[in-house]
Amino acid sequence: MHLHTGTHVVAQLFGMSVNLDTIFTQWLTALIVFIIVFAASRGRSLVPSGIQNAVEMIIEPLCSQFEKNMGSHYKKVVYFLLTLFMFIFVANEIGLLPTAHLTASPTNDVNTTLGLALTGTLCIHFVYIRNRGFGKWLKHFFEPMPPFVIINSILKQLSAISSYGSFINIVEELSRPVTLAMRLFGNILAGEILMEILYALAPVLVPLLWVVFSLVVGLIQAYIFTTLTSIYLKESVE
């Protein structure tokens, strides 16, 4: 049996390999998110119903979690975090049906997940610089002194001592987007591979059960990715 999941429609653009299916589903995801937000925001009422109610059921718990992670400062980046969550959630669910390449989840491509993780990382540093200035941003990599840039990162990774939480170091900054990207990519890709195998083995009952399970997994993965990003943003917004 030939598996389509994980393979891509590749084209050459300016000497680079481009996954056309990923680009298509990224734009499709953005369009779906726009339609959902547009539909939910039209004719809003104090007593929500329909799609407004469904969206608010997602947004309110997320905002509560952001407030726990970041305090009242979460409002400075709440729109970015909600947009990130909605995009990842929709992207995860697009590939539930194992059809042609062009309907696979864009998050089963590591280029997408790494791009999302780097976007979150850039936002963290941008907000930090905006709130504290470029000089303090640069200085915090070398606290309490330059040799501790590497030492602190090793100690923190090995011992997970919370007292080192104030020392953001180079290794940690590099590891964050990589771990975020690989976690999301691995879970979505594995889920779609299993989905395709189950459809080949039992085309009706088992795949339907797996679709329900995958819906939950896609929601959880979007939640984890966004929640971790909000935790990383905490020091930047304070």
Q: pLDDT tens across 85-100, in order?
A: 999 999 998 877 555 5
Q: How many residues does the chain have?
A: 238
Please report which helix (H) or strand (E) contains residue 18, including its range: strand 16-19
Percent of the chain with pLDDT over 70: 74
Query: What mean pLDDT value characterizes the chain?
Result: 78
DSSP 102: G
Q: What are the pLDDT digits (tens) for 46-75?
A: 666 677 788 888 888 999 999 898 888 888
Q: Who has greater pLDDT, 27 or 193?
A: 27
CA distance 183 to 190: 11
**pLDDT at res. 97:** 57
Q: Please check the confidence at residue 223 and state whether its pLDDT lies above 90.
A: yes
The model's confidence at residue 13, banded by pLDDT at 50, 70 and 90, is confident
Q: Please check the confidence at residue 135 and state whether its pLDDT lies above 60.
A: yes
**pLDDT at res. 225:** 94
Amino acid at 210: W
Residue ranges per structural domain of the chain: 10-237
**pLDDT at res. 167:** 45
Q: Please check the confidence at residue 170 and state whether its pLDDT lies above 60.
A: yes
Percent of the chain with pLDDT over 90: 19
Which residues are CB-neighbours of 31 under 8 A, at least 6 positions away? none
Other CB atoms within 10 A of residue 238 CB = 12
Q: Who has greater pLDDT, 203 or 81?
A: 81
* Helix runs in the chain, H state only: 20-41, 50-70, 78-94, 110-132, 134-139, 148-159, 170-201, 205-237
**pLDDT at res. 147:** 54
